[in-house]
A and B are shown apart, each in its own frame.
Chain A
Amino acid sequence: MAICEFLPRALCRFPAISDSYIRQARQVIDDGFRGLVREYGYIIDALKAPLQWFLNYLERLFTTSPWTVVLIVMLLVVYFGSRSIRITIGTAVGMILIGIFGLWEDTMTTLAIVTVSTLIAIVIGLPIGIVMARSERVQGVINPILDVMQTMPSFVYLIPVVVIFGIGKVPGLIAVVIYAVPPMIRLTNLGIRLVDKEVLEAADAFGSSPGQKLWNVQMPLALPTIMAGINQTIMMSLAMVVVASMVGVGGLGRNTLQAINNQFFTYGFLNGFALVAIAIIFDRTSQAFGKRLQRHSEVVHG
């Protein structure tokens, strides 16, 4: 640029720190991080063990049980969750198609990891959401963290997860949970904050302790929003299992990854559709269940 001839160098080209400094800093941080991981490896392993056990147990249960048993149990869960024949029939059709195209086992693996990650996300997200709803300060701290978690490209946080936990199913699971937990936290927080102030005042007037208020009033009234959070969490873990296949999670995600690498057009789409089928089953069932919890608000006095 001609204009640069009249300007001091620093005002024209951005004066970045020299490459060697950055390289050094990077090295120090990375080495320190790895060193820490090596040092406290036993703690990390102890943390990993129960997750590994639970995940393996569920995966084995899903994949080794006869498909008939799994399908019947699944249909029962769907029916009693949604009380809808249509959703149940849809589930049956979807699962049978998945089986016919030879994706049954991979689907079971994916189902196992999605189930585990959703449960973990609820167990972590619910209490954090509750604490957040009760304190402005906690909300002020956690909100930006959630913003970062949700906007950071999912590939990036695979890196620290792999550094800390290595390659495998559990690191993949952890990555999925990190990705899926923010809506759970946010919607729990929102649900509790939206509870009618007058009802809360009534609860106070009758002498409720904070715990009684939480369990008798806030949680039941926040439930529809919390259910929406669970629904979102399930959808996000389904999306993330595909990415997590890069660090060694099996199932439909790995098939998709292979299809990308080898340009297997049909294979890729078959696996994609299988994921869509599971997503729809989860979504419709959990939504119908959430709605059923809301029976009291449906009938309105004319």
Chain B
Amino acid sequence: MASHGIEIKGLYKIFGPKGRDHVEAVKNGLSKAELNERYGHVLGLKDINISMPAGGITVVMGLSGSGKSTLIRHINRLIEPTYGELVYNGINICGMNDRDLREFRRHKTAMVFQKFALLPHRTVIENAVYGLDIQGISRTESTKKGQYWIERVGLSGFENHYPNQLSGGMQQRVGLARALTNDADILLMDEAYSALDPLIRVDMQSVLLDLQAELKKTVVFITHDLDEALRLGDKIAILRDGQVVQQGTGQQIVLSPADDYITAFVKEVNRGRVIQAKTVMAPFDGQADGARIEATTTLEGAAKIMTENGLSKATVVDDAGTPIGTLDLQTMIAAMVTPAGSEAEKIAAE
């Protein structure tokens, strides 16, 4: 099944009985506070334009109240948009009637929830096959699929347990298995890991990355944690007060934050895990000595290879193995500790 991307075009959400009437005013610059004060309507999302790549993980990041959970609920229309378009595979999701929407939700999307939202009266395996039950697939067939995904998320042996016999991390594995068993192209993860302990969270991130490397689904991941966003996201969009403040790759956001708000965010980030070798390397000087490092290796990864081999210099090579640049420890350390200046412009120009 080929993945398709999701195009969000000019999406507005205004909560309130007459949200539609105020779209024009908001477009013309009516602020969130004014809208609330004068008309008693709440601006949820304002002019959202995000292109979510097919087969990649798009992370939508923001603090609470930024509208990120509202945004993800527009993709399967758990929340009705006020204005704008969401296009998947050439079809505007906002224009679907009830039946089409139900079919779309059954076959194209699967969702993982922050508070798991498992069915407490169903066992792990029964929860996993829930989506297939809804599609009307027989239990003999669905159980086979469910069993496979339960094993893949590391829950074998717990098939006949009830959700509240499991720990939070295990419950979310059930949530993930339920979503994967549905075999849908779009995987929506609404703060899926926010309720988990830090160690388990990292563990679950690895589970997702491993599965994604193989499945290539179009994943939309909501989080308030920038580290999580940087680790998972092929693309990151940062939301504030219902608006996209910046979108791009993790590197772009860390190296050239769009404003003070994002600068404050990225200050605490471990740059070594985000910045790639090719971003800070010096042009190739013709001498292919030292360790060989692939262009997309993170600085932390590069530092590890270099120190293990007792080298202070490395050659950066592209996919084909051709040397394209050189890197020394000095540059790397500088890039990891200080907000890089020239590199930022370089990446912004890409």
Contact = CB atoms under 8 A, between A and B. Distances in A.
Nearest to B136: A212
Interface string A255-273: 0000000000000000000
Interface in A14-29: none
B78 A201 contact: yes
A156 B110 CA distance: 56
Interface of A: 196, 198-199, 201-202, 204-209, 212, 216-217, 220-221, 223, 295-297, 299-301
Nearest to B106: A207
Interface string B122-136: 100000001101110
A221 B120 CA distance: 8
B134 A204 contact: no
Nearest to A293: B121
B117 A212 contact: no
A202 B103 contact: no
B58 interface: no
Given A198-B113, A207-B106, A301 B166 contact: yes
Interface of B: 76, 78, 102-107, 109-111, 113, 115, 117-122, 130-131, 133-135, 162-167, 182, 188
A201 B117 contact: yes
Contacts of B188: 205
Contacts of B167: 301
A204 B164 contact: no
A120 B133 CA distance: 32
A207 B164 contact: no
Contact of A216 (B105, B117, B119, B162): B119
A202 B110 CA distance: 9
A296 B160 CA distance: 11
B105 A204 contact: yes
A212 B120 contact: no
Contacts of B122: 296
A206 B121 contact: no
Contacts of B166: 301
Contact of B164 (A205, A212, A216, A297): A297
A206 B105 contact: yes
A214 to B, nearest CB: 13
Query: What are the nearest 4 A-B pairs in CB distance?
Result: A207-B106, A207-B105, A202-B117, A296-B162
A301 B165 contact: yes
Given A206-B130, A209-B102, A297 B120 contact: yes
Contacts of B105: 204-207
B102 A207 contact: yes
B78 A300 contact: no
Contacts of A297: 120, 162, 164
A284 to B, nearest CB: 23
Contact of B111 (A205, A296, A299, A301): A205
Main secondary structure of the interface of A (DSSP, over half): helix
A209 B113 CA distance: 20
Contacts of B119: 199, 202, 216-217, 220-221
Contacts of A300: 164-165
Given A205-B78, A207-B104, A296-B162, 10 more contacts: A198-B117, A202-B118, A205-B76, A205-B105, A206-B111, A207-B102, A221-B121, A297-B120, A297-B164, A299-B165
B35 to A, nearest CB: 26
Nearest to B107: A207
Contacts of A295: 162
A159 to B, nearest CB: 45
Nearest to B108: A207
Nearest to B182: A206
Contacts of A196: 117
Contact of A208 (B117, B134, B164, B165): B134
B121 A220 contact: yes
Contacts of B130: 206, 216
A230 B13 CA distance: 44
B164 A299 contact: yes
A198 B116 CA distance: 8
A73 B105 CA distance: 49
B133 A216 contact: yes
B286 to A, nearest CB: 57
B5 to A, nearest CB: 20
A207 B117 CA distance: 15
A206 B110 contact: yes
12 contacts: A201-B113, A202-B118, A204-B78, A205-B76, A206-B131, A212-B134, A216-B130, A221-B120, A296-B164, A300-B165, A301-B164, A301-B167
B140 to A, nearest CB: 19
B165 A199 contact: no
A209 B103 CA distance: 10
B108 to A, nearest CB: 9
Contacts of B131: 206-207
B220 to A, nearest CB: 13
A220 B122 CA distance: 10
Given A299-B162, A301-B165, A301-B167, A207 B134 contact: yes
